[in-house]
Amino acid sequence: MTTKVRPARAGDEAVLAEIDERTWDSTVSPAPPPPPGTPFFDEGARPENFLVAEHDGAVAGYVRLSEGFGIPAHAHVLVLGGLAVDPDRQGLGIAGRLVDAAIAEARRRGARKLTLRVLGHNAAARRVYERSGFTVEGVLRGEFRVDGTDVDDVLMARTLA
């Protein structure tokens, strides 16, 4: 079994939307899922913002990299703004491969820092990020109300220098 990470292509849209739909729940996002038929790619989420993992030749997951605030003073920081792995392929190390590829791509783009936000109760994702060198830089306590419970928003980052 082999996993390779490559830049996303427009033709990946349908399978990435399916992965998004299959992985979207209250443990990974406080926002409601996009309505069925919502395009995966749009003006703010173009294929060039994504890396895709292929496992044994099939698209198995993605990671999204984007600008932070879009101002010159923040140009050295990129944001890991989404990570998903096909539920049938979770537990194979694909998420870690995607995060490590995002780190390499952020460096290639000249970033000196990579940040992300993760829900406090998403322990599996937090472990993946920690294994790739991310550390907690802050916690917004009770930032979201999810399924009747206050949930922390954990801010994590990794320096790339």
pLDDT averaged over every residue in the chain = 95
Q: Per the confidence metrics, is the pTM higher than 0.85? A: yes
Q: Provide the residue ranges of all domains of the chain, joining segments of one domain with +.
A: 3-115
Measure the CA–CA gap between 158 and 74, rounded to whole angstroms: 15
Least confident of 15-24, 32-41, 105-114: 32-41
Q: Which CATH architecture has domain 3-115?
A: 3-Layer(aba) Sandwich (3.40)
Strand order through the sheet with 77-85: 3-7, 50-55, 58-67, 77-85, 113-119, 149-159, 135-146
Average pLDDT for 12-34: 92
pLDDT tens column, 55-103: 999 999 999 999 988 899 999 999 999 999 999 999 999 999 999 999 9
Q: Which of 18, 50, 51, 23 is nearest to 37 (CA)?
A: 18
Q: Are 62 and 97 in contact (CB under 8 A)?
A: no
Q: What confidence tens digit (pLDDT) does each residue in 107-131 have? A: 999 999 999 999 999 999 999 999 9
